[in-house]
Structure 1
Amino acid sequence: MLFIQDGKFAHSNQSLLFENLQLVLQAKEKMAIIGKNGVGKTTLLQIIAGHLSLSSGILQLKTAAYYVPQIAGQYNHMTVAAALRIESKWKALSAILNGKITEKLYEQLDNDWQLEERCREAFTYWGLQELEFNQSVATLSGGQKARLFLAGLQVHQPALVLLDEPSNHLDAAGRSLLYEYIQNSKVAMLVVSHDRQLLNLMNATSELTAGGLIYYGGNYDFYESQKDVELQARTAELNEKSKAVRKAKETERLTKERQHKLNVRGKAQKEKSGLAKIMMNTLRNNAEKTSAKLKDVHAGKIIQLKDELKQIQLALPDPNQMRFDWKGSGLHAGKRLFEAIAINHQYQHKKLWERSIDLLINSGERWAIKGNNGTGKTTLLQFITGALEPAEGLVYRSDFNAVFIDQEYSIVNRKESVQELARSFNQTGLVEHEINLRLHRFLFKKESWGTCCKDLSGGERMRLLLCCFIIGQRAPDMIILDEPTNNLDLENLEILTKALEQYTGTLVVVSHDTRFLEEISIDHEIIL
């Protein structure tokens, strides 16, 4: 179905993205491609789709691939029919049904008389019943655009499907439809995603690195178990190598002491025996050469062991090198922070919710706000923060420090550099070295400290924000997150999860990622 041998891709400036890539995808096989942001997962899908070309290597396809893009904004100038790549056929079919019969129209239709029926069935499945073929893609929401391109799977019925973060803009209902389609489908699939529930529907997983693809049989849970085995082996090797360095240093110290004692004893004996001065100098020089030789041997061994130790440390996953030392918010557990009684809102003279909402959030609780797109989740968050007042009902807010974090992490000042933002959170007089140490712990190397925040990825902005909270020495009383996992790769998702697990304040989260909500121990929920 798909074969790539020795695949290499370099950008136009000759900077290498990946090389030595080997990939074989069989008919009906469903494979996940995972890896860090920026490693080239989307680029690989675009190469297979024919939008880009390998710099070198062999690519063979038995059938054309249908590509579902991660971002659909570039299609805003098109109609629904054009985005689905059926515009010519649809126009021909419409003209024929309206009585215009020409040989050219029949050629354009290519005997596809079931086109409109397939489209309507696909639109119905994906909840797009109101969609019109000549409607502009720009009029659709992000979730509707995602559903539109997924509907194209049933319209075109391809044998090879490429999905790039297909669940990113889908609500819970949309994700459920996607999972159902993947489970029931018999086509070959190559999927890039950080949605672990989706990844567990795959029967193979490959990790993309700069050096190519590393193949793991099985779904994401199997991949994680294999990575855990690798991590345990590396950790054991790290411990053994650390012991070897300590032992080598101790051996060096004991050898120095023993050689020094031998030299002193030998000198005393030689002086008693009355050796000539010239002979004494010769013997002393020989002893110094022996000591220097022993020192070089031990120093060389220690340097070699330290280099090996450093290589093992570099091979450890980045999250394992991080520390989250949250400071408590200072609010007592159970303190009433926010209460809403019979609240509702209006948009265009229409109530947002059929039934008014009651909600009580106490300090230390962990809340999930759930609901399909358009049910008012973000509006409710604005009521909690005080950015918006409800049209109906009563609201109480106590005095607490809340931080609102959206999926773009726009709270990060994009005009400042990494180091400037970190300094701005330093309210307790940390010296420069301590700030830099914390940046390093959160995987910001020295060469990145001058980088403007607008040039950071979503995962990097998330890590920087967590680092700034730690530098600030006091955690927010409440952290509010609106779809925080959408733009994170799996590694940064793990970092965020670990950070929130150790956070002791109040948490309010909007997310369709059920596994993420389970891992951060959500104990209350409201479904809109």
Structure 2
Amino acid sequence: MAQPTTSLLCTGLSFEWPDGRPVLDGFHLAVGPGRTGLIGLNGAGKSTLLRLLAGELTPTSGAVKAAGEIGYLPQGLTLDTGLRVDEALGVRAAREALHAIESGSTDQRHFDAVGDDWDVEERARALLDRLGLHRLGLDRTTGELSGGEAVLLRLATLLLRRPDVLLLDEPTNNLDRAARERLYETVAGWGGVMVIVSHDRELLQHVDQIAELRDGQVTWYGGNFTEYERTVAAQQETAERLLRNAESDVQRQKRDLAEARMRLDRSASYGRKRSVTRNDPHIVAGKLKRQGQETAGRLQGMHTERLEEAKRKLTAAEEAVRDDAEIRIDLPRTAVPAGRTVLSLDKVRLPHGITADLELRGPERIALVGRNGAGKSTLLRTIAGELAPLRGEVVVPVPLRHLPQRLDLLDDKLTVVGNVKLFAPGAGDNAVRARLARFLFRGGRADQPAGTLSGGERFRATLAALLLADPPPQLLLLDEPTNNLDLASVRQLTQALAAYQGALIVASHDVPFLRGLGVTRWLELDGELRAVDPM
């Protein structure tokens, strides 16, 4: 395992995408032993930074140095479905050599392949058991895995390598509750350098420090996520108080400047009248006038300086107060009358013996839960018409849209605007841009190619394309929608869906998120679809 001196170091790191869009500029970072939670708004560059640290991207300038081997678990993991499990774990050659030696082979190649790792098969099986993958045989193929199982298998691969530095990008995506608990235990027991990008509050409770990436710089906070929230809340309370004081001071300085000008004007007017009354010589009158002007200039300059200083403090106070914009949804045509049938599943049978009967009426909100591999995504794809049921009938009499886990609905070569127009070809450019602004794609952001978007930005763009489609959906299917979203974006999504007036079916392992949606029914898929008590 890692030695105490193991570390990551970034110096003068800069990176920009091929279209010239900058992500980091002159960035510096030093990470020591322990578990670091890397957080920040979507688009801040967290995933890009991990890819730079892992060597998957080359910086425009600067350097990344790591003391030891790096293991990297990316977002949006895909595995070759034809791979055997032992091949994915990187132990197939060693296993085959070991079996050959056990069968009596004395070929030196087999001994070289095994090296000192004589217990490789036992370690691999034990690790799969620890991660809840005991059902996987080393000879099976990865095509049989669910999305969550693929993530755990990739993690097992990294742990078998015993890297000095472990980089995890949204590792709890697609994991069911039991799998998340196993991942938490793995993180809690890690003894080397670990950097975790995650929106999972429970996972972030297991870190030693929080690094927040904001505006191209990292701010460090000691302790776990609860400590971070407590510190930020106290800082924001102070910042908001200073902002109120600064606003009051600006108004006060404006009043003082206006009053000073009025007094000076009255004094100058009085001086002119007095000079005329006394019939002062021109030279005396001119001297008095110049003296008055100099005095007035000094006083006005003093008040102006005070006002400018107050404005500078106000600007600093405004920058200290966080103002993370929120997405807004206003789609009146999505409203569904309470008695209207939105979805009907009649004796539907899916692969692996899954059966489902369901009647959905009005603007109901369904939470679809279940273990990894239970078939939740398959059920949603069947409702969306992407898969045909083996038996039974699926009836959807209203406009429907499906947001899949992989967010693969966008054309990477098109801009955000261009992608939305694919779903709403009759909408004008100005109308599309006005609606995209509600999803935080304003100005040049709406012209970004979809291929350059972060995970959270891609989610917002996909959601915008679906909800701005013509006609707007009255039934929305969401498959693990909080994957790849930062904590602020999860809050924004929750508030946005609260304004949605259609029916919802949401498959998610994120129970706090589901609770915030105002779910009307909780359904569990475990061989069959059945109602369960609220979680």
CA distance in 1, matches of 2:272, 2:146: 90
Amino acid at match of 1:19: F
1:292 positional shift: 4.8
The answer to whether 1:324 aligns with 2:321 is: no
Cα RMSD (Å) of the superposition? 4.4
Check 1:268–1:419 CA distance in 2 against 1; reply closer, same or farther (3 A cut): farther
1:344 positional shift: 0.9
Does the 8 A contact of 1:205 with 1:217 survive in 2? yes
Query: Match for residue 496 of structure 2?
Result: 499
1:404-452 CA distance string (max 9 Å, x none):
333455566766545667899999x9996x9878866755454434323
The answer to whether 1:335 aligns with 2:334 is: no
1:101 positional shift: 0.8
Does the 8 A contact of 2:43 with 2:456 survive in 1? no
1:3 positional shift: 4.5
Check 1:461–1:163 CA distance in 2 against 1; reply closer, same or farther (3 A cut): closer
Check 1:7–1:509 CA distance in 2 against 1; reply closer, same or farther (3 A cut): same
Does the 8 A contact of 1:4 with 1:57 survive in 2? no
CA distance in 2, matches of 1:106, 1:438: 64
CA distance in 1, matches of 2:216, 2:495: 28
Query: Match for residue 20 of structure 1?
Result: 28
Length-normalised TM-score, structure 2: 0.77
Larger displacement relative to structure 2 (384-393 or 187-196):
384-393
The answer to whether 1:7 aligns with 2:14 is: no
Query: Match for residue 110 of structure 2?
Result: 105
Length-normalised TM-score, structure 1: 0.78
1:97 positional shift: 1.9
Query: Match for residue 91 of structure 1?
Result: 96
Query: Match for residue 359 of structure 1?
Result: 358
CA distance in 2, matches of 1:412, 1:287: 70
CA distance in 1, matches of 2:506, 2:365: 8
Does the 8 A contact of 1:143 with 1:171 survive in 2? yes
Question: What are structure 1's unaligned runs of at least 5 residues?
Answer: none
Q: What fraction of aligned residue pairs are identical, expressed as a percent?
A: 29
The answer to whether 1:381 aligns with 2:345 is: no
SS at match of 2:266: helix
CA distance in 2, matches of 1:256, 1:435: 50
Query: Match for residue 210 of structure 2?
Result: 205
Amino acid at match of 2:376: K
The answer to whether 1:452 aligns with 2:449 is: yes
CA distance in 2, matches of 1:198, 1:391: 39
Amino acid at match of 1:404: H
1:245-276 CA distance string (max 9 Å, x none):
22222222222222222222222222222234
1:103-146 CA distance string (max 9 Å, x none):
4533442343322222233334432644445x776776544432
Please show how residues 291-440 of structure 1 align to structure 2 within 5 Å. Answer: 291-319=296-324, 321-322=325-326, 324=328, 326=330, 328-329=332-333, 331=335, 334-347=338-351, 352-353=353-354, 356-382=355-381, 384-385=383-384, 390=389, 392-393=391-392, 397-399=396-398, 401-409=399-407, 417-418=415-416
Please show how residues 210-229 of structure 1 align to structure 2 within 5 Å. Answer: 213-229=218-234
Does the 8 A contact of 1:241 with 1:308 survive in 2? yes
Query: Match for residue 187 of structure 1?
Result: 191
Which of 127, 133, 151 is the matching residue for 1:127?
133
1:278 positional shift: 5.3
Aligned residues: 513
SS at match of 1:495: helix
Check 1:140–1:297 CA distance in 2 against 1; reply closer, same or farther (3 A cut): same
Which of 490, 496, 511 is the matching residue for 2:487?
490
Check 1:242–1:75 CA distance in 2 against 1; reply closer, same or farther (3 A cut): farther
SS at match of 1:345: strand
